[in-house]
Chains A and B, each alone.
Chain A
């Protein structure tokens, strides 16, 4: 069965510094990949998604992620973070052929941006 691992449960970073949130998934032939963001006391909002095509995906709020099939990774990056990026970030994957598009979530990474 498909699984997702977010390697860091908490990532503290200073404002204007770069950040990378790591995500690895178990091997599959074809996958769709997603990053969601959850601000305090809110639901999950789609940040970006990889469905096909270019492996570098750009999302909202200056975030981007790169799909690396050989390493089964989909790490999220931002070159310069703001205080407002403080939130929880969830990586998710759907296995196209085995699970009918069902989304599997990682455990989340709490990004804390400090002034």
Chain B
């Protein structure tokens, strides 16, 4: 098993659909993150969960709804998205006790909104 697994790898959805991205980490970490990576733009940190509590929400529109049911799983629920939401969504995890900030990334979910 790879350290951080994201599913699906590719997703195409219409603007009225509801879908979810899933992330699972097998590293025993206690913090998880969602990043958005758009073409020609810097990485954007969306959400941070620390010990299953949301500790950061960087002004993300409400059409993105994160969920962290336990320290190993993280979801990003999507509804009523816009074409500009098309991007690569990256999940990452870290071990808070290490205090280095080092992140372990998944392969990403490529989202296309039609």
Q: Is the pair A51, B101 in contact by a Cβ cutoff of 8 Å?
A: no
- Give every chain B residue within 8 A of A34 (Cβ-Cβ): 101-102
New contact pairs (8) apart from A46-B104, A105-B43, CB-CB < 8 Å: A32-B102, A43-B90, A43-B106, A44-B90, A45-B105, A100-B99, A101-B94, A108-B43
Binding site for A on B (CB under 8 A): 4, 6, 42-43, 88, 90, 92, 94, 96, 98-108, 110
- The total of Cβ contacts below 8 Å across the A-B interface reads 52
Interface positions, chain A 7-45, Cβ under 8 Å from B, are 32, 34, 36, 41-45
Question: Is there a chain B Cβ closer than 8 Å to A87's Cβ?
Answer: no
| Bound: A96/B99 CA distance, A | 7
Shortest beta-carbon distance from A55 to chain B in Å:
17
Interface positions, chain A 38-61, Cβ under 8 Å from B, are 41-46, 49, 51
Q: Nearest residue in B to A44 (C-beta to C-beta)?
A: B105
- Give every chain B residue within 8 A of A105 (Cβ-Cβ): 42-43
Q: Nearest residue in A to B4 (C-beta to C-beta)?
A: A43
Given contacts A49-B102, A101-B96, A107 and B107 within 8 Å (CB-CB): no
